[in-house]
Amino acid sequence: MAQTFNLPDAGEGLTEAEIVSWKVSPGDTVAINDVLVEIETAKSLVELPSPWAGTVGELLVAEGVTVEVGTPIITVLETGEAPGAPAPAAPAEHEDPTPPDVGPQPAVPGPLVGSGPRADAVKRRARHTPTRPPHSTPASRETGTRDTGSQHTGTGAAPTPSPRPQAPATPPAAAPAPPSPSTTPAAASSPVRAAGNRIERLVQRVLAKPPVRKAAKDLGIDLADVTASGAGGEVTRDDLLSYAEQVARNQALAPQFWDADQDRIERVTVRGVRKATAAAMVQSAFSAPHVSIFVDVDASRTMEFVQRLKASRDFEGIKVSPLLILAKAVIWAAARNPQVNASWVSGQTGDEIHIKHFMNLGIAAATPRGLMVPNIKHAQDLTLKELAVALGELATTARAGKTKPADMQGGTLSITNIGALGIDIGTPIINPGEVAIVAFGTIRQKPWVVSGEVIPRWITTLGGSFDHRVVDGDLSARFMADVAAIMEEPALLLE
């Protein structure tokens, strides 16, 4: 007897999902817990297992079609029954009739090339258009490490690395590393300036072998823009070539966007992650009165601390970035200002403010599938090392599209790392269900006045948006001041 498998609620309160790919075909034999299908919910990709053993009968929904929870999607027959016909290959009338992609999409930094008539036309043209020598963008700075101050795991997504291009026939000759900057007698006599020079020597220089530096110079690439994957944060030759490949590919594809023979208007169906993100942002922006404040921070000691952690044997093999210190700072500051770690709840008996005595720290991550804000459960209980591991796992899972619905729910306070995209600061929108979010801008070396002297320091800007129903101006200012204090002096975490 045929048993019908209905689309279940893969998370809490989900109403629909898209059939991404079938893992079985009619006539296949399946056992209990064998994966039948991969679906895309509002926030993640989920594999659905079979609740029965038997033979696949009929696939009732085609790939690419979005259906409501409870809709029959597949039948499973008892062994020996004849299977039905496969599901139709074409999507439903209301779906995008664009033919499926025939090859991998090159990763593009910033706005990602999605699906639709224009995207497919670009991809078809790209296959017949000669390109420059392949290049590649760095992996998302939200999780990668970089010795010059790029922070990670915020709103930047990590594109899938492109295949490694053919290396040059003749390896470039080694070039000596540039000499360390020397101090003038006047500078040497100043303890403040000497400290500034010490930090500059410590964090400004990107780690790379001389042949890699020579190759970067020949290609016109700043090593500071390349995400390092080598031991101890070293930029390897593969890192450089991968970055160079995508840069050239993006330059080759860019002019095709304006080709006159393509459709003038690209229509993209709003669904999946984009649909969920749009609904959440509208809900937050028009229900919670936002107030935002900003503060410039001297993060030189944070940069120095990050370098010491990278060199520590305790953190060997663990990616460490300034985002780790910011995450710890947010947890520390929230304990001193608990009302930022709360939610506004409206009920039949009236409105309430629920202050959370635990921290589910959300990290906004821009992935190829769209913006996600998975959270680290009970982040307040984690050591610095455990928090670093959790940040790395969160970003890796999000990039792979394997974030579970449960990991997207229950957040109490979030961080968005727009600095990973080279942006100084912006006004973030609060994640629904929370009352505060901290934006982390890029860290740059800038002139800074210390004890009456102007010296180079590593400066960043922090921005915070708050639900003014819960967080008043003085409370938001105290909270941001506490976060800034840790970024300026990480040793406060040890107190």
Q: Which of 266, 291, 308 is the last residue of a domain?
A: 266
Residue 253 confidence (pLDDT):
64
Q: What Å distances lie between residue 221 and 143, 389, 465, CA to CA?
A: 21, 30, 36
Question: Under a CB-based contact definition with an 8 Å cutoff, are residues 373 and 408 in contact?
Answer: yes
Residue 324 confidence (pLDDT):
94
Buried b (16+ CB within 10 A) or exposed e, 381-400: ebebeebbebbbebbebbbe
How many Cα neighbours within 13 Å face the side chain of 460? 32
Is it the case that residue 400 has pLDDT exceeding 70?
Answer: yes
Q: pLDDT band at residue 261, thresholds of 50, 70 and 90?
A: low
Task: Judge if 361 and 477 occupy the same domain.
Answer: yes
Beta bridge partners of 30: 54
Question: Average pLDDT, whole number, for the chain?
Answer: 75
Task: Judge if 345 and 251 occupy the same domain.
Answer: no
Q: Pick from 236, 234, 259, 269: which is nearest to 126 by CA?
A: 259
Which comes out higher in pLDDT, residue 471 or 246? 471
Task: Judge if 49 and 23 occupy the same domain.
Answer: yes
Q: Which domain holds residue 337?
A: 274-494
Write out pLDDT tens, residues 294-315.
Answer: 999 999 999 999 999 999 999 9
Domain count, the chain: 3
Buried b (16+ CB within 10 A) or exposed e, 133-168: ebbbbbbbbbbbbbbbbbbbbbbbbbbebbeeeeee
Q: What Å distances lie between residue 49 and 37, 52, 357, CA to CA?
A: 7, 9, 36
Task: Judge if 381 and 475 occupy the same domain.
Answer: yes
How many Cα neighbours within 13 Å face the side chain of 426? 15
What is the C-alpha separation between 275 and 279, in angstroms, rounded? 6
Task: Judge if 134 and 32 occupy the same domain.
Answer: no
- Is 468 catalytic? The answer is yes
Residue 255 confidence (pLDDT):
63
Task: Judge if 258 and 391 occupy the same domain.
Answer: no
Residue 485 confidence (pLDDT):
95
Q: What Å distances lie between residue 468 and 287, 296, 394, 438, 465, CA to CA?
A: 11, 22, 30, 15, 9
In this structure, which amino acid lies at residue 13? G
Q: Which of 266, 283, 303 is the last residue of a domain?
A: 266
Is it the case that residue 404 has pLDDT exceeding 80?
Answer: yes
Task: Judge if 286 and 245 occupy the same domain.
Answer: no
Q: In the structure encoding, which two tokens stand for residue 131, read together? A: 């390109």
Task: Judge if 430 and 480 occupy the same domain.
Answer: yes
Q: What percent of the chain clears pLDDT 90, i.e. is strictly above it?
A: 30
Which comes out higher in pLDDT, residue 222 or 353? 353
Catalytic residue among 94, 128, 290, 468: 468
Q: pLDDT band at residue 121, thresholds of 50, 70 and 90?
A: very low
Q: pLDDT band at residue 64, thresholds of 50, 70 and 90?
A: confident
Residue 208 confidence (pLDDT):
83
Residue 165 confidence (pLDDT):
46
Task: Judge if 322 and 255 occupy the same domain.
Answer: no
Task: Judge if 285 and 373 occupy the same domain.
Answer: yes
Is 147 inside a domain boundary? no
Give 166-204 as a 3 state SS string: CCCCCCCCCCCCCCCCCCCHHHHCCHHHHHHHHHHHHHC
What is the C-alpha separation between 457 and 291, in angstroms, rounded? 29
Q: In the structure encoding, which two tokens stand for residue 321, read together? A: 């970035």
Question: Under a CB-based contact definition with an 8 Å cutoff, are residues 250 and 108 in contact?
Answer: yes
**63-67, 376-380, 487-491: least confident range:** 63-67
Q: In the structure encoding, which two tokens stand for residue 138, read together? A: 């760095």
Is 366 inside a domain boundary? yes
Residue 266 confidence (pLDDT):
65
What is the C-alpha separation between 234 and 208, in angstroms, rounded? 5
Q: Tell me the H-state helices in 369-448.
A: 384-399
Which comes out higher in pLDDT, residue 17 or 95? 17
Q: Pick from 62, 53, 56, 51: which is nearest to 84 by CA?
A: 56
What is the C-alpha separation between 455 and 48, in angstroms, rounded? 58
Q: What is the CATH number of the domain that holds 230?
A: 4.10.320.10
Neighbours of 173 (CB within 10 A): 8
Q: What is the CATH number of the domain that holds 48?
A: 2.40.50.100
Is 198 inside a domain boundary? no
Is 197 inside a domain boundary? no
Overall average pLDDT of the 285-292 stretch = 84
What is the C-alpha separation between 29 and 50, in angstroms, rounded? 11
Task: Judge if 255 and 292 occupy the same domain.
Answer: no
What is the C-alpha separation between 433 and 232, in angstroms, rounded? 39
Is it the case that residue 244 has pLDDT exceeding 70?
Answer: yes
**76-85, 159-168, 289-298, 347-356: least confident range:** 159-168
Task: Judge if 474 and 332 occupy the same domain.
Answer: yes
Write out pLDDT tens, residues 216-239.
Answer: 888 888 887 787 777 667 788 888
Is 183 inside a domain boundary? no
CA 157 vs. chain centroid, Å, equals 4
Q: What is the CATH number of the domain that holds 400?
A: 3.30.559.10
Beta bridge partners of 372: 365
Q: What percent of the chain clears pLDDT 70, i.e. is strictly above it?
A: 67
Q: Pick from 25, 4, 26, 8: which is nearest to 17 by CA?
A: 8
Is it the case that residue 160 has pLDDT exceeding 50?
Answer: no
Is 199 inside a domain boundary? no
Is 188 inside a domain boundary? no
Q: Which of 245, 266, 287 is the last residue of a domain?
A: 266
**188-192, 246-250, 348-352, 391-395: least confident range:** 188-192
Is 289 inside a domain boundary? yes
